[in-house]
A and B are shown apart, each in its own frame.
Chain A
Amino acid sequence: MGAMTITEKILAKGAKLKSVKPGDLINSKVDIALANDITAPIAIKEFYAVGAKKVFNRKRVVLVPDHYTPNKDVKSAEQCKILRDFAHEQKITHYYDAGEVGVEHALLPEKGVVVAGDIVIGADSHTCTYGALGAFSTGVGSTDLAAAMVTGEVWFKVPETMKFVFNGKLDKWVSGKDLILRIIGDIGVDGALYRAMEFTGSAVSSLSMDSRMSMCNMAIEAGGKSGIITPDAKTKKYVEERGERKARYYESDAAAEYFSVTEYDASKLEPQVAFPHLPENTRGVSEAKNIKLDQVVIGSCTNGRLEDMAVAAKILKGRKAKKGLRLIIIPATPAIYEASMKKGYFKTFVEAGAIISPPTCGPCLGGHMGILATGERALATTNRNFKGRMGAPNSELYLSNPAVAAASAVLGKITHPDAVK
């Protein structure tokens, strides 16, 4: 039995095999199967079309209507109703509606639905987020999801792994978001196509769980199948405080083989900004000169967690967003919303002239609640700045961490957080 990476070990467990190697086609069991209000309606239609009556396990199928909720129009309301009816009929344990719903990839870890060692598939590309908990998680389409809802299984090709090592002390304004933006800038939006990404090194260990989730969240923006960080004491604390099942912790063997190993001196990194229209157009924030903004969005499954709210509040405290600039802040889940309120962040946000949105994907995918007009320019803490992603095809979207976003809202142009100090 050869040495294996953490990803290979988890997949071997899922397929009930002693070992697997890259390129193997395996049939694996699924611990969690997730879908949202865009992807679940198709999966549900296919579920019934093959004559299925019951999901394989009502505790393991998770449905989160987060994209167009509160429903933006009649069509989206009908889509959500399909989920609601299905969830009630199947007695789905993890179905979140009304005041309980949040952005899926922030909600699941917080609720303890995903634990370390899990195999998670989600009909949403950012399902790779849960690698931060030491789980193998990957995005699939609705049909894969429909099949998994019936069988509790999914087929995979075992991916090769690319290892990224970040050593050195991080600048105080540099977060997991910046590390992953730097990688994508270096390898491109297909640089990790079909492969797993493993993030390691002292700088990665120093990241909070929230920041690690931002990092794994964007593995897909490099084309990756998954992103993963080996569980450590922080992971165990996080998972054990909320996990609803027993976690299993894996780590890569020292002799494991990698497709590539790339090392970074993390102490040299400044906050990163992705320029339009691809996440790979990444530059240091110091290179973003005089880029005036119409809108700033702080939220999403990448950076809508409590730590992100805290950073934004720290910078906005006693300051105001530039007059005329629309600052939209979206706490990703009801728990984050409540905590932000209790900690006084909302007072700071309102005094800064921000709009506080209920937990939703909203403008992140150009859905609703903050769409851009032709020629407008926005900076967002989201993960994807494709053409027209936040609205009009000729609008421009830049990506950054929450500190840069908050500071830029104050000055009305893209700026380093220190510039407002």
Chain B
Amino acid sequence: MKIKGKVWKFGPDINTDDIIPAPRLVSTDPKELAKYCFEYDRPDFAKNVKKGDIIVAEKNFGCGSSREHAPIAIKGAEVSCVIAKSFARIFYRNSFNMGLLILESEEAVDGTSEGDTLSVDAATGKIKNLTTKKEYMARPIPEFMRNLVADGGLMASIKKRGVV
């Protein structure tokens, strides 16, 4: 899977309340949740985000609650990929389980600014900054997780294994 998109840059410790505030958790509809994505931190985000855009953030993205509404809201906003220096544990699990592509790379985050255009090869983890013409490699995804993604997420994997 090859991805190309414009960068929205975020700081460290972006938490799940930043991504989708608790008062909005009365829905599980991706389109509805996307309307309020980052509503406090970046009120312009939901209005201006374009299909395929990429979120680039510093360390510990997605910390806080276990709400899947967070990756759902980001997916609902049609963001193609999140690249961060590190992810909070539950957010990391949730994203894989939901099929939101996330990559860890310190160098790529340091080498990317707001508004840059990146291309990402999900299979190899190669990240190209088309604005600065620099290339980076994301941390490889463990095989176990790759299999989950290949099966189409956790629930699809369960179905495939015939557990149901």
Q: A190-B86, A366-B23 are in contact. List 10 more A-B contacts (CB 8 A).
A: A50-B158, A75-B26, A124-B65, A141-B90, A141-B98, A151-B163, A189-B60, A193-B88, A225-B89, A387-B41
Residues of B within 8 Å of A49, CB to CB, are 155
Residues of A within 8 Å of B159, CB to CB, are 50-51
Residues of A within 8 Å of B69, CB to CB, are 38, 42
Closest to A68 in B: B26
Please report which residues of chain A, range 350-376, place their CB below 8 angstroms from some CB of chain B when the two chains form the complex.
Answer: 365-367
Q: Give B49-76 as 1s and 0s: 1 = Cβ < 8 Å from A's Cβ atoms.
A: 0000000000110011111110000000
B63, A189: Cβ atoms under 8 Å?
yes
Please report which residues of chain A, range 86-131, place their CB below 8 angstroms from some CB of chain B when the two chains form the complex.
Answer: 122-125, 127
Question: Which single member of A73, A147, A190, A389 contacts B155 (CB below 8 Å)?
Answer: A147
Q: Give A289-317 as 1s and 0s: 1 = Cβ < 8 Å from B's Cβ atoms.
A: 00000000000000000000000000000
A-to-B contact residues, CB < 8 Å? 25, 38-39, 41-42, 45-46, 49-53, 67-68, 73, 75-76, 79, 122-125, 127, 139-144, 146-147, 150-151, 155, 157, 189-190, 193-194, 223, 225, 278, 365-367, 384, 386-389, 393
**B94 interface contact, C-beta 8 A:** yes
The winner among B26, B60, B144 for most chain A CB atoms within 10 A is B26
B93, A140: Cβ atoms under 8 Å?
yes
**B22 interface contact, C-beta 8 A:** yes
B59, A190: Cβ atoms under 8 Å?
yes
Report A27 CB to chain B, min CB distance, Å. 10
**B125 interface contact, C-beta 8 A:** no
B66, A123: Cβ atoms under 8 Å?
yes
Closest to A79 in B: B26
Q: Given that A79-B26, A141-B90 are known contacts, is A50 also in contact with B59, CB under 8 Å in the complex? A: no
Question: Which single member of B41, B67, B155 contacts A39 (CB below 8 Å)?
Answer: B67
B28, A45: Cβ atoms under 8 Å?
yes
Give CA–CA (A91, B154) in the complex, Å: 25
Residues of A within 8 Å of B41, CB to CB, are 387
Q: Given that A52-B164, A147-B154, A386-B18 are known contacts, is A42 also in contact with B28, CB under 8 Å in the complex? A: yes
Closest to B17 in A: A386
Question: Which single member of A39, A75, A143, A155 contacts B144 (CB below 8 Å)?
Answer: A155
Give CA–CA (A73, B30) in the complex, Å: 20
Mind listing 11 A-B residue pairs with CB under 8 Å? Answer: A25-B142, A38-B69, A42-B28, A42-B68, A46-B155, A51-B159, A52-B164, A123-B66, A123-B68, A142-B68, A389-B17
Residues of B within 8 Å of A387, CB to CB, are 17-18, 40-41
A139, B90: Cβ atoms under 8 Å?
yes
Report A43 CB to chain B, min CB distance, Å. 9
B158, A365: Cβ atoms under 8 Å?
no
Give CA–CA (A123, B144) in the complex, Å: 22
Residues of B within 8 Å of A140, CB to CB, are 66, 90, 93-94
A144, B154: Cβ atoms under 8 Å?
yes
B-to-A contact residues, CB < 8 Å? 13, 15, 17-18, 21-23, 25-28, 40-41, 59-60, 63-69, 86, 88-90, 93-94, 97-98, 142, 144, 153-156, 158-159, 163-164
The winner among B27, B67, B86, B144 for most chain A CB atoms within 10 A is B67
Closest to A384 in B: B64
Give CA–CA (A150, B156) in the complex, Å: 12
Closest to B160 in A: A50
Question: Which single member of A50, A79, A190, A366 contacts B164 (CB below 8 Å)?
Answer: A50
The winner among B21, B68, B144 for most chain A CB atoms within 10 A is B68
Residues of A within 8 Å of B25, CB to CB, are 38, 67
B93, A141: Cβ atoms under 8 Å?
yes
B27, A75: Cβ atoms under 8 Å?
yes
A139, B66: Cβ atoms under 8 Å?
yes
B60, A144: Cβ atoms under 8 Å?
no
B68, A143: Cβ atoms under 8 Å?
yes
B59, A151: Cβ atoms under 8 Å?
no
Give CA–CA (A225, B154) in the complex, Å: 20
B93, A144: Cβ atoms under 8 Å?
yes
Q: Given that A193-B60, A365-B22, A386-B64 are known contacts, is A223 also in contact with B89, CB under 8 Å in the complex? A: yes
B164, A150: Cβ atoms under 8 Å?
yes
Residues of A within 8 Å of B144, CB to CB, are 25, 155
Question: Which single member of A52, A141, A190, A278 contacts B94 (CB below 8 Å)?
Answer: A141
B68, A367: Cβ atoms under 8 Å?
no
Closest to A141 in B: B94
Give CA–CA (A45, B41) in the complex, Å: 30
B13, A190: Cβ atoms under 8 Å?
yes
B18, A193: Cβ atoms under 8 Å?
no
Question: Which single member of B15, B22, B89 contacts A366 (CB below 8 Å)?
Answer: B22
A194, B153: Cβ atoms under 8 Å?
no
B164, A51: Cβ atoms under 8 Å?
yes
Give CA–CA (A104, B60) in the complex, Å: 26
Report A106 CB to chain B, min CB distance, Å. 17
Report A349 CB to chain B, min CB distance, Å. 26
Closest to B157 in A: A147
Report B15 CB to chain A, min CB distance, Å. 5
Closest to B12 in A: A190
Give CA–CA (A30, B25) in the complex, Å: 27
